[in-house]
Structure 1
Amino acid sequence: MQDTNFDTLSQKFAKNIYGTTKGEIRAAVLWRDLEPVINAFSPKSLRILDAGGGFGFFSQKLAALGHEVVLCDISAEMLDEAKAQIDAAQNPLNITLIHSAIQDLSADELGKFDIILCHAVAEWLVDAKSTLQGLLNLLKPQGVFSLMFYNKEAMRFHSLISGNFDYVKRDMKVKKKVKLTPTYPLFIEDVRHWFTLWQMDIFCQSGVRVLNDYLKYHLPPGFSKQELIEMELEYSQREPYLSLGRYVHFMAKRNT
């Protein structure tokens, strides 16, 4: 089996990720979590690795603040889109593009980083645990690892409240795979255990889309998207909502 490559789907993927309300929620939650960490390093210019970062939504945002970013992706089409957006930016952005699987990244070639982002990648990996552990070789001793992954328990809960009981009984496996549905969703407790094994302390935990994916089809008059995003931010770090997020975001540092 192979890890998923989004060549041929790059435009659809980019539109689905950040061109929708779902994308706005993702961006709002992740930036709320990341911004204090970035500010804590201020005024230092950081080295940041965006591993599997696609067209570089956060790479561009961080580079615009004056940080040095390395954006890696296995999809050449995604990187072409990233280059087009970087070239069109109002001010020059210090972003290096690398066409590579993240398993092939080397600290000998790239050096080490203050922050590593790995967002919505793990759930497409055949062996997420080993791949993510390998990424940590590129992290500085006091560096921060920002991991967002697709939550298998939320996937099950959404199916249950939708009445798709046969699907749940099959452990959410289908004969015909939907191309943008992650192949290897992860359980929160498994990922927490990995961080313990890696001797890393999780200092920030958030659910991403803790409300949006469970909204009723018929919403009240005057329903506000902006208010939805505000509620997502308010409840994203509270249980039980955090654990029902379609994605979960962990930020961690080594404890040694």
Structure 2
Amino acid sequence: MQDKNFDKLSQKFAKNIYGTPKGEIRAAVLWRDLAPQIAALSDKPLRILDAGGGFGFLSQKLAAMGHEVVLCDISEQMLAQAKQQIEASEVQLNITLVHSPIQALSSAQHGQFDIILCHAVAEWLIDAKTTLQGLLTLLKPQGLFSLMFYNKEAMRFHSLVSGNFDYVMRDMKVKKKVGLTPTHPLYIEDVRQWFNQWQLTMICQSGVRVINDYLKHHLPPNFDTQQLIEMELLYSQREPYLSLGRYVHFLAKNP
């Protein structure tokens, strides 16, 4: 078995993830969590690693603010998309593209970083814990680690409210994997324990898509996507909604 490579799905992935309200919610929650912490750190340009960052949605945003970004991905197609977008940018972006598995990154080759982003990657890894622990060797003391992962409990709850009881009884295993359904979703408590073991100080925790994925098919005629995003932000850090987020974002500081 090997970790997921999105080469064959790169166009579908870009369209499904960022060209939709799902993507807008993801971007809004991540940015709400990250922006004040980045502002507090950045009296000078920061070195940022976007590990498994695909075509670099956040990489480009951060580089446009003057930070130095290393964007690493296992997918050549994703990085080709990133290259096109970087070259088309109106402002010059200091982004280094690295085509490699994130397990192959080393501080000897790439140095250390003020911030490491690892978003929607862990749930595709065969051994997420070991891989993430390896990434932390590239994080400076007092550096920030931003991890967003697919929440197994939310996956189960979504299946339950959709009436897919047989799927739940099989522990959500299918004979044929659907392209964009993560292969190794994680439990929130497991990831919290890892953070404790690694002595990371948690700064904030948020659910991502705590409402969107449970919306009914028949919505009120005045339904407003902008209001949905506002509600997502309002409830994303409150229990029990946080734990029902389709993804969960942890932002923590290195000791």
- TM-score scaled by structure 2? 0.99
Aligned to 1:142: 142
Identify the residue that residue 68 of structure 2 maps to in structure 1.
Answer: 68
Matched residue SS, 2:158: helix
- Determine if contact 2:140/2:254 at 8 Å carries over to the other structure: no
1:80-138 per-residue CA deviation (whole Å, 9 max, x = no partner) reads: 00000000000110000000000000100100000000000000000000000000000
Report the equivalent of 1:167: 167
Contact 2:121 2:149 in 1 (8 A): yes
Quote the RMSD (CA, aligned, Å). 0.5
Quote how far apart the aligned CAs of 1:236 are: 0.3
The residue that corresponds to 2:191 in the other structure is 191
Deviation of the 1:208 alpha carbon = 0.1
1:10-60 deviation per Cα after TM superposition (whole angstroms, max 9, x unaligned): 010011110101000000000000100110013221000000000000000
| TM-score (norm. length: structure 1) | 0.99
Secondary structure of the 1:78 match is helix
Percent sequence identity over aligned pairs = 78
Instruction: Give 1:202-241 correspondences, 5 Å limit.
Output: 202-241=202-241
Equivalent residue runs for 1:1-256 within 5 Å? 1-255=1-255
Query: 1:155 & 1:67 partners in 2: Cα distance?
Result: 35
Paired letter, 2:69: V
- Does the CA contact (< 8 Å) of 2:209 and 2:245 recur in 1? yes
- For residues 143 and 7 of structure 1, the distance between their equivalents in structure 2, rounded to whole angstroms, comes to 31
* 2:230 counterpart SS class: helix
Q: Distance in 2 between matches of 1:129 and 1:189?
A: 13
Moved runs in structure 1, 4+ residues, more than 2 A? none
Secondary structure at the aligned position of 2:184 is classed as: coil
User: C-alpha separation between the residues in 2 aligned to 1:77 and 1:158?
Assistant: 31
Q: For 1:149 and 1:42, how far apart are their aligned partners in 2?
A: 26
Shift of residue 221, structure 1, vs aligned partner: 1.1
For 1:86, what is the secondary structure of its paired residue?
helix
| Secondary structure in structure 2 of the residue aligned to 1:228 | helix
CA displacement at 1:151 relative to structure 2? 0.1
What's the CA shift string for 1:143-167, capped at 9, x where partnerless? 0000000000000000111111111
Give, in whole Å, the separation in 1 of the partners of 2:111 and 2:157: 41
Unmatched tracts of structure 2, length 5 or more: none
